[in-house]
Structure 1
Amino acid sequence: MMKQSFELMARYNQMMNRQLYYCAAQLSDEQLKRDRQAFFGSILGTLNHILVGDTLWLQRFAAHPSGFSSLDKVKALAAPKQLDEIIHDNFAALSEARNAMDAAIVEFSTQLTEQDLSQPLSYVNSKGLSQQKHFGLLVQHFFNHQTHHRGQLSTLLSQCGQDIGVSDLLVHIPEL
């Protein structure tokens, strides 16, 4: 059941990011970069943070014994050095990187198995500490992290007059 849930979350994530990036594209460079007193400062800073988090987590997930081929391109990316790193200062480049990351996430979700998700994953966190945690719960955290920061972005974009539209996951849960 976790696999099915993560496939849904991956598609939802991709769709929500498209909506956010569409709205953000309506703003000027100055509006995207203005410090709005958010945790990561600006809209561009928050968009970059989500990409940083996705990169770090997917690189950790790539070390899973199942060796997910969907993460090969993510493994090849430079690992961000800090959580507030601006990977792309240019919105067009950031948008392109986001699209590629979301495609990798969707493909990754299709490669997961319930057996994969039930195993532990060993990794080193951003403070350099070795960790070993339940892989399925780490994937759940991965999607929750994105949702958390997209909520912040919906507020920031709303303050700029942009409506991201319906964001409820419920709309994407299929009828039985």
Structure 2
Amino acid sequence: MSMLANFCLMARYNHWMNTKLYDAAATLTPAQLQQPRGAFFGSIIATCNHLLVADILWLQRFAKHYGNGKLTAVAALTTPTQLEQILYPELPALKSQRQWLDQQLCDWVTTLAPQQLGTVLVYHNSKGVPHRKPFSAVLLHFFNHQTHHRGQLTTLLFQAGIDVGVTDLLALIEDTDA
């Protein structure tokens, strides 16, 4: 499987897992979603917001160099100012924005070309520090970051009595005859 095919798989996995997590979270009350649970970002709703914030920041950075005409709407969003910023305190609005952003990601990643993966991404982090990193490695980090925090969300939901079910990437990988 090519690196591009792997990134497309990761975009599908991101969308699939976020749908599962948000459906599970929707079974909790707003108070349960906002309850401090000892996680890095505190609550379920705050962790979901952090993932949205981080994804917006990264996709806006990617849009400047690799948008391929697909990230224009993401680039036009107001840029979050803090990684712990609560963009949407209520789950329905947060879920709607998450679904939209996941679709933007899925649409965009299919437009990437192999030669783009071999380039260097020049960007400033959220503290304004400049960086120059291999784009393919940063894109890998982007997907790994999502998986990391979704793992935390799965644990937080389980502690709240909600079983999200199967979360393995393997569930999306088709069997092959070869």
Q: When the two structures are superposed, what TM-score results if normalisation uses the length of structure 2? A: 0.96
Alignment partner, residue 21 of structure 1 = 22
Alignment partner, residue 47 of structure 2 = 46
Determine the C-alpha separation between the residues in 2 that align with 1:175 and 1:116.
29
| 2:121 counterpart SS class | strand
Alignment partner, residue 164 of structure 1 = 164
Determine the C-alpha separation between the residues in 2 that align with 1:95 and 1:165.
19
Contact 2:67 2:108 in 1 (8 A): no
Percent identity over the alignment is 50
Task: Give 5+ residue unaligned stretches, structure 1.
Answer: none
Deviation at 1:134, TM superposition (A): 0.5
Determine the C-alpha separation between the residues in 1 that align with 2:59 and 2:129.
17
| 2:164 counterpart SS class | coil
> Paired residues, what number?
175
Alignment partner, residue 67 of structure 1 = 67
Determine the C-alpha separation between the residues in 2 that align with 1:174 and 1:111.
22
Q: Deviations over 1:56-84 (max 9, x none)?
A: 000000111x4322211110111110100
Determine the C-alpha separation between the residues in 2 that align with 1:105 and 1:59.
11
Alignment partner, residue 144 of structure 1 = 144
Determine the C-alpha separation between the residues in 1 that align with 2:26 and 2:127.
34
Determine the C-alpha separation between the residues in 2 that align with 1:67 and 1:81.
21
Contact 2:56 2:74 in 1 (8 A): yes
Q: When the two structures are superposed, what TM-score results if normalisation uses the length of structure 1? A: 0.97
Determine the C-alpha separation between the residues in 2 that align with 1:8 and 1:43.
26
| 2:64 counterpart SS class | coil
